[in-house]
Amino acid sequence: MLRANKLSAFYDRTQVLHEIDLRIEEGEIVGLVGANGAGKSTTLLGIIGIKTRTEGEIWFNEKRIDDLPAYERVRQGIVLIPERRRLFPFMSVLENLELGAYLPGPRDNRSASLEMVFNLLPVLAERRHQIAGSLSGGEQQMCAIGRALMSRPRLLMLDEPTEGLAPLYVERLFDLIVRLRNDGITILLVEQNVEHVLKVADRGYVLENGRIVLQNSGQALLADPRLKTAYLGL
């Protein structure tokens, strides 16, 4: 579904990614792990086309997209749930969800999408008129996921979704990610909780200093002693 060939990324003159190759097959959960500063979030921003300048090629469903602006990449079906969720805190849960369906296609199916989100995440139905900023951390993350689903993504990218969540919500979140994959949404997941990620991931990549140093199935990476070296710098 997605291929990145020799993808490099820059912030001004500082190079953060160094010619990485990445592929995601349709129907997979792919985990991207590594220490802080390894370039994980930059990879997602490079794929979606915001905040960073890139070199190299990005292909989505056999169409080259690295020359497209971010909003056109969203039209193709790529959606990013950013780190720290980025909800509109003074708007209601319902208003946040409706903003996820701003493109013409999703807008035409907004009612059906809203029903799907409420069935999948009942807490959002219960809190639909509550101000988003007053939700708990776990509820805010569910709202961010619901907002993303309103745009009917084909590839859903999540950046550190368990940050600040209680253990119970961490378990619920990973159960939800597996369910979304089973419902046909391809997932690219960046997460510090390496064990949780690789347990659910079909495949994984390990980033170190902007370079991919390991790639394998999730279970094989968990058993690889080199993971500790790349992740902890030991």
- pLDDT (tens digit, 9 = 90+) per residue, 139-149? 898 999 999 99
Domains in the chain with CATH codes: 28-41+83-232 (3.40.50.300)
Mean model confidence pLDDT for the chain:
91
- Per residue in 33-80, pLDDT tens? 988 888 999 999 999 999 999 999 999 999 999 999 999 999 999 999
Say whether pLDDT at 4 is over 90: yes
Q: Three-state DSSP class for 63?
A: strand
Distance CA 119, CA 103 (A): 22
Supply the pLDDT for residue 185.
Answer: 95
Supply the pLDDT for residue 231.
Answer: 65
SS3 of 138-187: HHHHHHHHHHHHCCCCCEEEEECCCCCCCHHHHHHHHHHHHHHHHCCCEE
Supply the pLDDT for residue 232.
Answer: 57
